[in-house]
Amino acid sequence: MFEGKHYVYEVYKTRSFSKAADNLYISQPSLSATIKKIENQIGTPLFDRSTNPIQLTECGQKYLSYIENLMDMEHEFENYLNDVNTLRTGHLSIGGSNLFAAYILPPLLSKFMSKYPHIGIKLVESNTYALEQQLSSGNLDIVIDNYAFDGRIYEKQLFCQEQLLLAVPASFTSNQKAAGYQLTADDIKHNNLSDTSAPINKTANFVSLKVFNQDPFLLLRTGNDTRKRSELLLKDAGISPKIILKLDQQVTAYHVASYGMGITFVTDTLIKNVPDNSNLLYYRLNPEYAQRNIYFYYKRNHYLTRAMENFLLDL
């Protein structure tokens, strides 16, 4: 019914079939036939052809008001698409665990927001399980995590590689047995731990956890990759240390360890982003279990918005 609206509108503007046909670059008979087809669909004439210049009928006036409304909406939608394509509108919802939400995402989002100030940003901090659920349901566009999400469901883009380290209170006497393996926070901040074949400035690549078998340990609760790898490292060393606390966040475990309460597993990602702490000493661990990748995940076969695309491209 409104497919030929621009033909009707041109006749209305020019008050002439011949002038309208010229403006539309079609023949007058073709234009007249198109208008007649629309009038037949409606069941009543749109133009009073007995007047000179031709005028709209009462039905034609109503039809024209709807045409103008449709044209206004089309124009608004064209403006919206232009804004979307130029990132003058849109939104980006992204999630991460406490560590990533506190230290990794803020500088990335700040850079993105300064470049695209009109994009609305939503930042969600939660555990891996809850983040994956929100990503699956569409409540989040992107999630950053070091856990291996199902590749059949999610696409991923590598952000960086990180190392799991052993953080031991400096007051523990067991450190004396592992003096040749010790790393300071400064070692970690200013050197690449990915190359495990070349120790930073130590006599060996990674320490044996058996050295710390009698010391208390702090582990994260189940449901994340750090806990999973911690258990693999302990099993590989053949030890079952005393676990005095199970915590939810790696940052919390780090702070508790710094007060001398126990040994914990932390990442170089964390150590590179917190102030130096002389209360802790660090040790490399077996890279088979300690080395992992951090990815940005988004749902496979899900529409990739311009905001998502540009955020990932800017990483």
Q: What is the pLDDT of residues 40-58, one digit of tens each?
A: 999 999 999 988 899 999 9
**DSSP-assigned letters across all residues of the chain:** --TTHHHHHHHHHHT-HHHHHHHHTS-HHHHHHHHHHHHHHHTS-SEETTSSS-EE-HHHHHHHHHHHHHHHHHHHHHHHHHHHHTTSS-EEEEEE-HHIIIIIHHHHHHHHHHH-TTSEEEEEE--HHHHHHHHHHTS-SEEEESS---TTTEEEEEEEEEEEEEEEETT-GGGGGGGGGEE-HHHHHHS-TT-TTS-SSSSSS---GGGGTTS-EEEEPSSSHHHHHHHHHHHHHT----EEEEES-HHHHHHHHHTTS-EEEEEHHHHTTS---TTEEEEE--HHHHEEEEEEEEETTS---HHHHHHHHT-
Residue 86 falls inside a structural domain: no
User: What was the pLDDT predicted at 81?
Assistant: 81
Instruction: Tell whether 175 and 288 lie within a shared domain.
Output: yes
Instruction: Tell whether 303 and 265 lie within a shared domain.
Output: no
Q: Take residue 269 and report the two structure tokens written for it.
A: 């990602």
User: What was the pLDDT predicted at 98?
Assistant: 93
- CATH code for the domain of 100: 3.40.190.10
Quote the number of domains for the chain.
3
Instruction: Tell whether 265 and 300 lie within a shared domain.
Output: no
Instruction: Tell whether 128 and 143 lie within a shared domain.
Output: yes
Residue 120 falls inside a structural domain: yes
Residue 185 falls inside a structural domain: yes
Residue with tokens 């661990």: 285
- For 199-212, b/e burial (b = at least 16 CB within 10 A) is beebeebbbbbebb
Residue 135 falls inside a structural domain: yes
Task: Give the residue from 79, 103, 126 where a domain finishes.
Answer: 79
Intervals of the chain under pLDDT 70: 192-204
Instruction: Tell whether 198 and 273 lie within a shared domain.
Output: yes
Residue 102 falls inside a structural domain: yes
Residue 85 falls inside a structural domain: no
Instruction: Tell whether 166 and 279 lie within a shared domain.
Output: yes
Residue 63 falls inside a structural domain: yes
Instruction: Tell whether 138 and 253 lie within a shared domain.
Output: no
Instruction: Tell whether 230 and 255 lie within a shared domain.
Output: yes
The residue range of the domain holding 27 is 5-79
User: What was the pLDDT predicted at 203?
Assistant: 43
Global pTM reads 0.76
User: What was the pLDDT predicted at 201?
Assistant: 46
Instruction: Tell whether 18 and 52 lie within a shared domain.
Output: yes
Task: Give the residue from 34, 50, 79 where a domain finishes.
Answer: 79
Instruction: Tell whether 284 and 305 lie within a shared domain.
Output: no
- CATH code for the domain of 21: 1.10.10.10
